[in-house]
């Protein structure tokens, strides 16, 4: 999520939504695809849904083939990053995105949120739903990037909309808010392994979460109205949002904590 800039010892210049910059990336630029190598891309829940559907894989298949698990700093929450591969087109020892080729990105229409933001970085995870917010953005100052020498002018707001990252942020907003809230917890407050498993399932394994909801005792334990049931059964985005709200009840005890815990415990064990 946060995208590191070039390590120069210089503090990044804070950009707002109306900040202007010039940038353009295209196949004729000498640095084309270099930004896809030697990188770290944390994937969001919506990224996983887009990518696994694009590749016609199940969530578990995509996770096994294309991701690596990590614990997100300061949150104790499990996240995944895109698994890089050896770059056969270069003598460099840098690893590359598995989807990049000399002529560009194979999955460009469904590329991750981080890729859509580039050349911008996000210095905060605070993306509030229904609001443009006052985000803290900055340039990812990589020395090889020549896109800043092009004449195409943007504002941060226009760039986000043009790249579709505003839609990604809206869909990920509740999940992002959950992560931000967990970051504010005192360091000595840790999640149980069960809670981490539930967070990982809802966030990244939407297929398994669907089974958890519809093929277990979940619906007997929770009174879900018919309208919501229909939405979450037929729409992965609706199911994701439902799951994140349910997670908030487990992680932050916004509802009856005993009921939430009793619902999570046997099914988490059953689905291990």
Using alpha carbons, list the distances in angstroms from residue 222 to 144, 183, 262, 263, 264: 53, 28, 11, 8, 11
Q: What is the SS3 assignment for 186?
A: coil
Domain positions in the chain are: 20-171, 191-270
Antiparallel, parallel or unpaired: β 20-22 and 100-101: unpaired
pLDDT tens, position by position, 195-204: 999 999 999 9
**How distant, in Å, are the alpha carbons of 69, 198, 244, 264 from that of 267?**
22, 10, 17, 6
Report helix angle 206-214 to 236-252, nearest 10: 80
Tell me the β-bridge partners of 104: 101
Q: Examine the pLDDT at 269 and tell me if it is beyond 70.
A: no
The pTM of this model reads 0.84
At 2 the pLDDT is 45
DSSP codes of every residue in 77-144: EEEEEEPPEE-TT-SSS-EE-TTEETTEETTGGG--HHHHHTTEEES-----TT--TT--EEE---TT
Tens-digit pLDDT profile for residues 160-189 = 999 999 999 999 999 999 998 888 888 778
The model's confidence at residue 82, banded by pLDDT at 50, 70 and 90, is very high
User: If you average pLDDT over residues 200-217, what whole number do you get?
Assistant: 97
pLDDT score of 146: 94
pLDDT-above-90 percentage for the chain: 65
Quick one: pLDDT at residue 100? 95
Q: If you average pLDDT over residues 107-123, what whole number do you get? A: 93
pLDDT (0 to 100) of residue 230: 94
Look at residue 111 and tell me whether its pLDDT is greater than 80. yes
**Residues, the chain:** 272
Which pLDDT tens digit goes with each residue over 45-80?
Answer: 999 999 999 999 999 999 999 999 999 888 889 999
Q: Where does the pLDDT of residue 148 fall: very low under 50, low under 70, confident under 90, or very high at 90 and above?
A: very high
């Amino acid at each position: 999520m946060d995208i590191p800039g070039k390590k120069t010892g210089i503090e990044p210049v804070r950009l707002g939504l109306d900040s202007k910059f010039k940038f353009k990336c295209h196949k004729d630029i000498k640095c084309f695809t270099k930004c896809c190598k030697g990188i770290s891309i944390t994937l969001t829940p919506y990224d996983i849904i887009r990518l696994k559907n694009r590749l016609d894989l199940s969530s578990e298949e995509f996770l096994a083939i294309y991701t690596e698990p990590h614990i997100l700093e300061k949150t104790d929450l499990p996240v995944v990053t895109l698994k890089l591969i050896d770059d056969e087109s270069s003598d460099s020892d840098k690893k590359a995105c598995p989807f990049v080729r000399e002529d560009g990105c194979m999955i460009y229409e469904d590329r991750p949120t981080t890729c859509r933001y580039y050349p911008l970085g996000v210095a905060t995870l605070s993306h509030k739903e229904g609001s443009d917010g006052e985000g803290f953005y900055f340039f990812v100052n990589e020395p090889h990037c020549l896109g800043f020498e092009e004449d195409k002018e943007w504002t941060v707001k226009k760039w986000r909309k043009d790249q579709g990252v505003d839609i990604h942020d809206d869909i990920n907003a509740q999940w992002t808010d959950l992560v931000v809230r967990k970051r504010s917890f005192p360091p000595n407050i840790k999640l149980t392994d069960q809670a981490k498993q539930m967070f990982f399932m809802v966030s990244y394994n939407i297929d398994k979460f669907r089974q958890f909801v519809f093929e277990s005792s979940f619906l007997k334990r929770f009174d879900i109205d018919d309208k919501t049931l229909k939405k979450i059964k037929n729409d992965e985005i609706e199911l994701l949002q439902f799951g994140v709200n349910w997670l908030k009840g487990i992680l932050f005890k916004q509802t009856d904590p005993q009921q939430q815990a009793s619902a999570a415990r046997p099914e988490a064990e059953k689905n291990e």
